[in-house]
Amino acid sequence: MNRQRKIISVIGSGQATPEESRLAEEVGRELAKQQAILVCGGLGGVMEAACRGAKAEGGLTIGILPGDNRETANPNVQIPIITGIGYARNASVAKTGEAVIAIGGSYGTLSEIAFALQSGIPVIGLGTWSLYRNNQRDMSIVQVGTASEAVGEAIRLAKT
């Protein structure tokens, strides 16, 4: 394996809607087809669906877990990273990606988006947060409509 493979983080809620799960699985598949390594928070919902898609295409999946126990990783995580630092691990999930794909998501996802943008890491959004700062739209999140657009933009924009 070489460092030329892109590392892309997929973030979103641990309780996904069926539509979010479908999108996440497709994102995972597409990432694997592009030889990208998938990083996520290692738990359920969007994270699990993305790992499932990636694994189905022979991709490599990494889960950066909040807790102390590798058994909390979803079954499609191949390499569990045990942080034990709780939600502060969101910073690691965001920053380990060369780009981040956000699918839906609640406040944990929002913190990851914030950490990525703070580090200048591109964020691609699929039905996720949009941001206004002091009543002005912040256009930093690249909003797209399909899984394949999300992966295409993530690969194209990935910070090297």
Mask of contacts with its own copies, 93-122, x by CB under 8 A?
--xx-------xxxxx-xx-xxx-xxx---
By CB under 8 A, name the one of 15, 86, 145, 156 that touches its own copies.
86
**Distance (Å, rounded) from C-alpha 66 to C-alpha 33?**
28
**Distance (Å, rounded) from C-alpha 72 to C-alpha 44?**
9
* Smaller CB separation from its own copies, 152 or 158: 158
**Distance (Å, rounded) from C-alpha 125 to C-alpha 145?**
8
Q: Interface residues for its own copies in 26-55 (CB under 8 A)? A: 37
# residues contacting its own copies (CB under 8 A): 47
Contacts with 117 (C-beta within 8 Å, 6 or more apart), sequence order: 123, 140, 141
Residue with tokens 């990494």: 62
What residues make contact with its own copies under the rule CB under 8 A? 1-3, 7, 37, 60, 62, 64, 68, 78-88, 90-92, 95-96, 104-108, 110-111, 113-115, 117-119, 127-135
